[in-house]
Structure 1
Amino acid sequence: MIKRRFPKTIPLLQPIPPTPPSPIPNPPLPSQPVVSSTPLPTLTLFHSPKSNHTQLLSFLKTHLNPPFTPQNLLRFLKSKLHHHPNFTHYDFHIFNWASTIDSYRHDHSTFEWMARTLAITDRFSDLRSLLHFMVSNPCPCSDGIFSCSRTEHIFQFSIVAYCKIGKLDDAVDAFECMRKLIDGKPSVVVYNILINGFVKCGWHDKALGFYNRMIKDRVKPDVFTFNILLNSYCRNSESGLALELFKEMKEKGCSPNVVSFNTLIKGFFRVRKFEEGIGMAYEMIEMGCEFSCVTCEILVDGLCREGRVSEACDILINFSRKGVLPKEYDCFGLVETLCRKGNSVRALEIVYELWSKGNHPSLISCTTLIEGLRVFEKIDEALRLTERMLEEGMVPDYVTFTCLLQDLCNVGRTVEANKLRLLASSKGLDSTAMACNILVSGYTREGKRKEGEILVDEMLDRGFIPDISTYNRLMNGFSNERKSM
């Protein structure tokens, strides 16, 4: 058996001549560090290019001797080279060098790993070279009747990477390379990626142009294609053209989804066409398309920002009664707006209406509403809401709860305040020393000595009274208050 010797030099690791012989240009080796006047440490991580080349050659001899397979190379790149602190950036050099060996041929596994690695590490010029190399050196899977099934996936990942950084020309170039390698037409997913890339870069006309090319190539657009273009029209304040595309979408047999409607509603609101936006919401109901929380937020928040709060309330109640509101929707934004405008009673009506239909308000919505009711001295309403919250297992925060107890005591309703405290305790909201002191003061002012003494004894048992003098002061307060009466 003839044993092949490892070459003494790696051609592709030599300095790149003016006209590189390899179809894939290689990144240059690190230049020799500039000698500083300051003495360097004895041990250093910097090496000259010659030293690096020698060490890399030795590393290759140890771990990767020809002949090897794509699986051997991939294992070496992943487990050996990738984790080496000095050689990891030579992965594309090694990949290139392997392609010059007569007995070796890259397949889709090495192409895919290299393409993903170059994209993730932002080496996009090398990625472009790699994709062009694939065109002239396709995967061995393509030697038969059909092309390699992984080719489109490799190019799709690369196109996504180019679009993310706004290199749309390179993305289109990769698309053209892919067209030469795959069987038949590209998938609609690839077209959508490129159209979305143009839209994100603000190139509306180019997005439309690529859509027209898609139609010309007889690739059927899907709901994502139309949603991308609807968004582009709306971002350019062309709601009329967006509506025409929406009609074309239905004519082509593509059913709009909730994203389609949300995009149009938001687009109409953007140009202050509120009636048309609300009309789209009702069309959703007619078509049987379920609302999302985003749909409700677009409608309610959009109307509230324009001062049409009453209309937002009516629409929300109407949708609730029709049973189309998502169960997880929370009307916090509307509650906050109503309370800020001094209409907390209306906010309470909205919360109770939605609550009765299964739309449970969030803790923050209820807390905001309690504060809004307290500001306008709606103590009864705040008390009823807090009691319902506790019955439903919603425990308010200590600050809000303590403030409500103070309000009740201030109007001579300390007994009700204490009942609320006991209810909260049974639901997991333990009484604080401050809450108990507020209630004791309330009982003192109302002359309810018996109830006050019971609470003081409870405070003593729970360690809320630090010393005997504090205890005597509280108890004497009941006697003094009774004498003054």
Structure 2
Amino acid sequence: MKKKNLLKPLQNPPSKCPQSLPPLSPLMDSPQIPIPSLSLFPTTPQPHHHKQLFSFLKAHLTHQPLTPKTLLHVLKTKLHHHPIFTHYDFQVFSWASTVDSFRHDHSTYLWMAHSLASSHRFSLLRSLLSFVVANPCPCSPGIFSCPQIEPLFRFVIDAFCRSRKLSDAVFAFESMKKLIDGRPSIVIYNVMINGYLKSGDFDNALRFYERMEKDRVKPDVCTFNTLISGYCRNGKFESGLKLFKEMKEKSCRPNVVSFNTLIQGFFRERKVKEAIEMANEMTQSGCQFSTVTCEILVKGLCMEGQVLEASDMIVDFCRKGLLPKGFDYCGLVEELCGKGNAGRAFEVVNELWLKGDVPSSIACTTLIEGLRRSQRREDSFGLMEKMLKDGIVPDILTFNCLMQDLCDLGRTMDANKFRLLASAKGLEPDEVTYNILVYGYTRDGRRKEGENLVDEMLDKGYIPDIATYNRLMDRLSNSTSSTLEKVSAIHR
């Protein structure tokens, strides 16, 4: 018997193929956002591509039987990376379906779906789904459907929803229901509901939720959270609160996202008391605060002008062990300092720091600036020292400002100790730092210490010429003479 030639020339598929499959021609959808591999070939098909593609397939498929495994190998490792033929993958997929001895399975279906979705060829993706419905996966055990079909449709539905093609997503959903055994997964319903919300179609999201209930699919916490958020964003907070109560009645336990959404909703409605009560209910239900929860509470109270109450609340959370690790209270520090309460901010930071909640570098520098504006220089010096000892390195601008404050108080020796400590912790003093210290030593009449710093500046390249060097040295020498004269005058 003469062996059947699998590699017949590419042509329009015979009538036995589904009408939804396009002819085997090089005309393809243009991707909305071309991926790099698709931008390497011309958008206008070339007539000679058919012949070249036939030769390409003949070179890679003649030495082995045509099976889903061998076809997938050619599609993934050969065709997909070819600068001309990569966009003809659906052509090859369609051609393979015309071969009598070949049947696609879930592996080729899934790969083809990923390729079409990633290149935004959505009309062809819809055609692929029609073909899958007409040609079920052959690995289905008996009367049952292939277990890989639902994950395939879940991916496709998600791709359609992300691209705001909800009508195509509904088509995919209906097609899937014809193939799978039993009811669809709750995950797919959630994808559809979220897709409608992302598209701004809240009414259809609610209708799909009602459909889910009619299909006897039990909603989960993700379903409720998505709809509660939709209610809040559409100005229907009371309906969202009602759904939250319904959620608990249906024995679905709220999580941190549920509570965060409602707390934020209460603040948006300017119901501060109810927001705090919801936070208390959150802890009573055994749900732990997240950093987002604390940020929502702090921001909400501060927007209502209750900055001190916000600081008391955070301290109380810390004492009770409710404050989550990693919570950055920089926003609270900024609000307190902005309202002239740098002293209270200093107390909050110290207490939280002692409890192990180390502040961020930004929170510390914000507090230092607030303390300086409030004339609490000693507190700012103490905070800087604690920062450096704990390895929190400030920015050079804040550091230099404190150096200037110390020198203005005649404490240049202390300022230089800060410089040495900061250098050991990774802060590199700049030219401004050295100039501040040199002028400080000049005012203090400490010639030797000043000269040592000038020599160090010279080594680091901070002194541009010999004239500058001599000027600094002369000032140090004159400051020593002036100091001696003042001491002699006092003794006389």
Using structure 2 for the length normalisation, give the TM-score: 0.88
TM alignment of 1:391-430, pairs within 5 A = 391-429=389-427
Range that drifts further, 465-474 or 142-151: 465-474
Q: Report if aligned partners of 1:250, 1:256 keep a CA contact under 8 Å in 2.
A: yes
Query: Following the alignment from structure 1 to structure 2, what is the Cα–Cα distance between the partners of residues 111 and 46?
Result: 25
1:168–1:197: 8 Å Cα contact kept in structure 2? yes
Change (3 A) 1:265 1:158: same
Deviation at 1:147, TM superposition (A): 1.0
Deviation at 1:163, TM superposition (A): 0.3
Check if 1:335 corresponds to 2:333: yes
Q: Deviations over 1:302-334 (max 9, x none)?
A: 222333222222222222222111121111111
Q: Pick the aligned partner of 2:475 from 470, 473, 476.
A: 473
SS of equivalent residue, structure 2 residue 140: helix
Pick one of 162, 165, 180 that aligns with 1:164: 162
User: What residue number does 2:10 align with?
Assistant: 10
State the shift of 1:148 in Å: 0.5
SS of the residue corresponding to residue 12 of structure 1 reads coil
Letter in 2 for 1:453: K
Equivalent position SS for 1:457: helix
Aligned partner of 2:484 in structure 1 is 482
The alpha-carbon deviation at position 248 of structure 1 amounts to: 1.5
Q: Which residue of the partner structure matches residue 247 of structure 1?
A: 245
Match of 1:37 in 2: none
Question: How do 1:297-308 and structure 2 match up within 5 A?
Answer: 297-308=295-306
How far residue 141 of structure 1 moved from its aligned partner, in angstroms, is 1.6
C-alpha displacement at 1:338, in angstroms? 2.1
Q: Distance in 1 between matches of 2:313 and 2:202?
A: 34
Query: Paired residues, what number?
Result: 467
How far the C-alpha of 1:483 sits from its partner, in A, is: 2.3
Q: Does 1:456 align with 2:451?
A: yes
Q: Give, in angstroms, the shift of residue 220 of structure 1.
A: 1.6
Distance 1:414 1:368 in 2: 24
Distance 2:297 2:60 in 1: 63
* 1:71-470 map, 5 Å: 71-142=69-140, 144-429=142-427, 431-446=429-444, 449=445, 451-460=446-455, 463=458, 467=466, 469=470, 470=472
Q: Deviations over 1:246-296 (max 9, x none)?
A: 112122221111111111111122222222122111111111211111111
How far residue 159 of structure 1 moved from its aligned partner, in angstroms, is 0.3
Aligned-pair CA distance for 1:372 = 1.6
Write the letter of the residue equivalent to 2:5: R
| Residue range with higher mean Cα deviation, 426-435 or 160-169 | 426-435
C-alpha contact (below 8 Å) 2:72/2:108 kept by paired residues = yes
Change (3 A) 1:210 1:46: closer
Pick closer, same or farther for the CA change 1:27–1:338 going to 2, 3 Å: farther
Offset at 1:162?
0.3
- Match among 28, 48, 53 for residue 50 of structure 2: 53
Deviation of 1:477 after TM superposition, in Å, equals: 2.0
Could you give the per-residue CA deviations for residues 64-111 of structure 1, whole angstroms, max 9, x where no partner exists? 248511111111111222222222222111111111111111111111
Q: Could you tell me the percent identity over the aligned residues?
A: 55
Give the alignment's TM-score, normalised by structure 1. Answer: 0.89
Whole-Å Cα distance in 2 between the matches of residues 389 and 460 of structure 1? 29
Cα deviation, residue 382, structure 1: 0.4
Runs of 4+ in 1 over 6 A off after TM superposition: 44-48
Q: Distance in 2 between matches of 1:442 and 1:300?
A: 42
Q: Distance in 2 between matches of 1:240 and 1:457?
A: 71
Q: Which moved more, 1:81-90 or 1:459-468?
A: 459-468
CA contact (8 A) 2:157 2:169 kept: yes
Structure 2 distance, partners of 1:28, 1:361, is 63
1:412, 1:442 within 8 Å by CA — same for their partners in 2? yes
The gaps in structure 1 that reach 5 residues or longer are: 32-43
The secondary structure found in structure 2 opposite 1:11 is: coil
Q: C-alpha distance in 1, partners of 2:179/2:370?
A: 66
Paired residues of 2:12 and 2:25 also in contact (CA < 8 A)? no
**1:1-39 CA deviation, whole Å, 9 max, x = no partner?**
63223565322279xx9xx974412475359xxxxxxxx
CA contact (8 A) 1:436 1:455 kept: no
CA RMSD of aligned residues (A): 2.6
